[in-house]
Amino acid sequence: MSRRCLKCGTVYEGEARFCPKDGSPLVDGGGVAPAATPASSGTLVRKPAARAAAPPERAGSLSNQTLDSRYEVLRKLGEGGMSYVYEAKEIGSPGSVAIKVLSPKLGADKTSVERLRREAGLAMRLTHPNVCRILRMGETEDGLIYLVMPYLKGELLSDREVRAGPMTAELGVVWLAEVCAGLHHAHRLNIVHRDLKPENIMIVPWEDGYEHAVVMDFGLAKENRADPGVAKLTATGIILGTPEFMSPEQIRGKPLDARSDVYALGIVAFEMFTGKLPFQGRNAQEMMIARLRGQPTPARQYRPDFPPKLEKVLLRALEANPDNRFATTLEFGVAMAEALGPGYYEKLRDTLQ
């Protein structure tokens, strides 16, 4: 298999994922590298070829079609503001994959394409059982850009919450510990999720007979280390992310680190256990103001039987000042497990290594 560097255009054979020259992600596709042109951020993007663009409706109607002469698209799984997600099968290979196709409208925007390519490069580095990684990135002849990921048969945490209601501390902490472990793996690679919420966590049955939590969609992921390209893409960070789960520093557009994901996961945990959000407001703007100026509601106000020690752990994760939170998601996970007793921490020790 040949792969091409997104930045310098050099083509490499084999399974390398990053360019030895400049560290940029490699995408599938060999032969002569396409012409590139400098973007305003200083990185290189593909120069549009002389070809007809995909009709706007094509990205949303790929079911029962063949994508890029390589994937048989089976059905649409969902759609969002910038992409459509499908279940598909790679021709000649068993099993299913999930394919996220960028909206052609956004695909025509260089910044959106650059961010998607960066997303692919970041997510390809994530190799943890509790993180859904990106397998490859591709582009069709008519300009549809897509990402290929493992197809996970499971249930979104948000759907589980609606179907089953607030969960026990003992069950919830197991899944939260797995999310903590997956996020810690990303943070060690200097990647922050930025958009953690129940819709981005999948509960998946594994071969061991148990359900496990898997973090999905690093679509707003960013590296800690800022460079001109990243700075350009994240300069509007105040509007990236989901308002109900954004940390105070993200609302303010400040630099983010692992502690921002700790905060978002604290809100996710609070909702898992109570069915409520820790900050109230009539709309997203009021809830953001409440996180900047107010204090979170204690979990036992909604659920009197909630373990007091675990309530204190959640309140620490939701501190407005990042310095007062847990420094890492792993510390957060350990604290939650220990709050339920020494025996419970021993049960989750392997997860929280």
Q: How far is CA 159 from the centre of its chain?
A: 17
Beta strand 136-139 pairing with 97-102: unpaired
Give the chain's count of helices (H) and strands (E): 12, 16
H/E element holding 156? Answer: strand 155-156
- Cα dihedral across residues 24, 106, 233, 191: positive or negative: negative
User: Using the 8-state DSSP alphabet, how is residue 304 labeled?
Assistant: T
Distances in Å between the Cα of 138 and the Cα atoms of 4, 135, 248, 340 are 11, 10, 36, 46
Distance CA 327, CA 142 (A): 46
Residue 208 is encoded by which pair of tokens?
């061991």
Distance CA 235, CA 229 (A): 10
Q: Of the residues 142, 195, 208, 305, which is catalytic?
A: 195
- Catalytic, 195? Answer yes
User: Using the 8-state DSSP alphabet, how is residue 109 labeled?
Assistant: S
Do 90 and 73 contact (CB within 8 A), yes or no?
Answer: no
For the purposes of burial, counting CB atoms within 10 Å of the CB of 145, is it exposed (0-12), middle (13-18) or buried (19 or more)? buried
What is the DSSP track for 235-292?
TTGGGSS-GGG--HHHHTT----HHHHHHHHHHHHHHHHHSS-SS--SSHHHHHHHHH
Active site residues: 195
